[in-house]
Amino acid sequence: MKRQLIKIIGDHFSNNRQMFFLSGARQVGKTTSAQQFAESYGESFYFNWDNQRDRALILQGPDALAATINLDQLRVMPSVCILDEIHKYGDWKNFLKGLFDTAGNHLKILVTGSDRLDVFKTGGDSLMGRYFSYRLHPLSVGELINPEIPSGTLLRPQASLPDHEWDTLLSFGGFPEPFLKRNIRFSNRWQKTRSRQLLKEDLRDLTRIRELGQIEILAELIIQRAGQLTSFASLARSLNTSPDSARRWMSTLEALYFCFTVRPWHKNVSRSLRKEPKFYVWDWSVLKDRGARHENLVASALLKSVHTWTDNGLGEFELFFLRTKDQKEVDFLVSRDGAPWFLVEVKTSGKASLSPNLPYFQQAVGAEHAFQVAFDLPYVARDCFSADRPLIVPARTFLSQLI
């Protein structure tokens, strides 16, 4: 499966000398996408910290790696060097700084990792100015329709996703392997294996946290409460720990791409919530409740879009929700360069009347668009973003226009 990231990598190396830092959830397709790009590019080299031979070479330093790939040879074009999971090396920043300063003009350096690359390992001089960060997300409606990123516009032209792919995305999530397998027994085993690797192996290897059992309970609580307001004091009571520990453990799960945070928007909203966030999971297929799964899928699609727009220098985009102390709420607000752009309310059924909170908040914050996204409505071949008044729109139409 060709991913939209491949073109992003190519555009980056065509226009920049900086290293390409790619982070994302475990098994989301980082290594595969990097290798697919390398195959289409020309000469490439791949090194994985988890491979004992590659690890021994990296420990010898940048000069040893440069000698291995014959960097002194004249080439028509620079080679690509992929360094996978190198952030597990305690001195990885110094290693990359040395490699880039030595070979940056003669080598395209692509670094991949299953966490945020800058969270757990510090040490060494800053890499400021030597890299740009990008994030790879699970598959989305827009990417399945067309893996090419739209040029000159933020939004895709609306298009219909085939029924079988729409149903598969809802049932099996957006991680490539279970999506392509379309097999419930495989998906169940894949989920358990990924959870074990994430909550035990990655936590053990990348952090000093010892309370692994409590973090497993926290992960289950996040799944049960996905899309709900979250109080760290309440979580702390359930975990028999302090709110500070609950907050720290939650940040760790975010860094490992188990979950992500959506915070409340409070500008120009009277009596708005300011502190309590919502949490969603990267793999929405683990959610049993249909409504929660639908909302999480939309949250993931919106997060993917704001990250991709931001990572590609198209502006500063962020994802929020809206809620007041008197219970008025809209599920999502997307901001562009600090100003509200559009609102989204998620409904399973298109029979629900338009939420009065959409026009209320649209007027309050001045958003250009407001959508009530319904999952049971058939695809409509219309541009959602051509309207400036609140509308009920099919999820298949709305999601097709996102990244």
pLDDT in tens, 103-136: 878 899 999 987 666 654 444 457 889 999 999 9
Are residues 206 and 345 both part of a single domain?
Answer: yes
Are residues 55 and 17 both part of a single domain?
Answer: yes
Are residues 231 and 294 both part of a single domain?
Answer: yes
Q: Are 359 and 370 in contact (CB under 8 A)?
A: yes
Count the domains in the chain. 2
Which sign does the torsion angle of CA 170, 298, 3, 401 carry? Answer: positive
Are residues 240 and 352 both part of a single domain?
Answer: yes
Token pair belonging to 117: 């690359």
Domain boundary among 115, 136, 157: 136
Tell how strand 278-281 and strand 259-264 pair up: antiparallel
Instruction: From residue 217, give the alpha-carbon distance in Å to each of 133, 200, 213, 296, 332.
Output: 31, 12, 7, 20, 27
Are residues 350 and 363 both part of a single domain?
Answer: yes
Are residues 253 and 113 both part of a single domain?
Answer: no
Domain boundary among 118, 136, 154: 136
pLDDT for the residue 276: 87
Contacts of 97 by beta carbon, 8 Å cutoff, 6+ apart = 124, 125, 127, 130
Contacts of 356 by beta carbon, 8 Å cutoff, 6+ apart = none
Distance CA 198, CA 192 (A): 10
Q: Are 380 and 400 in contact (CB under 8 A)?
A: no
Query: HEC profile for the chain?
Result: CCCCHHHHHHHHHHHCCCEEEEEECCCCCHHHHHHHHHHHHCCEEEEECCCHHHHHHHHCCHHHHHHHCCCCCCCCCCEEEEEECHHHCCCHHHHHHHHHHHHCCCEEEEEEECCCCCCCCCCCCCCCCCEEEEEECCCCHHHHHCCCCCCCCCCCCCCCCCHHHHHHHHHHCCCHHHHHHCCHHHHHHHHHHHHHHHHHHHHHHHCCCCCHHHHHHHHHHHHHCCCCECCHHHHHHHHCCCHHHHHHHHHHHHHCCCEEEEEECCCCCCCECCCCCEEEECCHHHCCCHHHHHHHHHHHHHHHHHHHHHHCCCCCEEEEEEEECCCCEEEEEEEECCEEEEEEEEECCCCCCCCCHHHHHHHHHCCCEEEEEECCCCCCCCCHHHCCCCEEEEHHHHHHCCC
Are residues 262 and 385 both part of a single domain?
Answer: yes
Contacts of 26 by beta carbon, 8 Å cutoff, 6+ apart = 114, 194, 197, 198, 202, 256, 257
pLDDT for the residue 199: 85
Distance CA 232, CA 245 (A): 9
Domain boundary among 82, 103, 136: 136
Are residues 236 and 342 both part of a single domain?
Answer: yes
Are residues 158 and 120 both part of a single domain?
Answer: no
Amino acid present at 299: A
Are residues 42 and 111 both part of a single domain?
Answer: yes
**In terms of C-beta density within 10 A (0-12 exposed, 13-18 middle, 19 or more buried), how is residue 123 classed?**
exposed
Token pair belonging to 337: 């360069």
Are residues 335 and 228 both part of a single domain?
Answer: yes
Distance CA 103, CA 96 (A): 10
Query: Which residues of the chain are under the pLDDT cut of 50?
Result: 120-124
pLDDT for the residue 68: 94
Question: CATH code at 11?
Answer: 3.40.50.300
Are residues 106 and 255 both part of a single domain?
Answer: no
Domain hosting residue 288, numbered range: 141-400
Residues in the chain: 403
Question: pTM of the full predicted structure?
Answer: 0.94
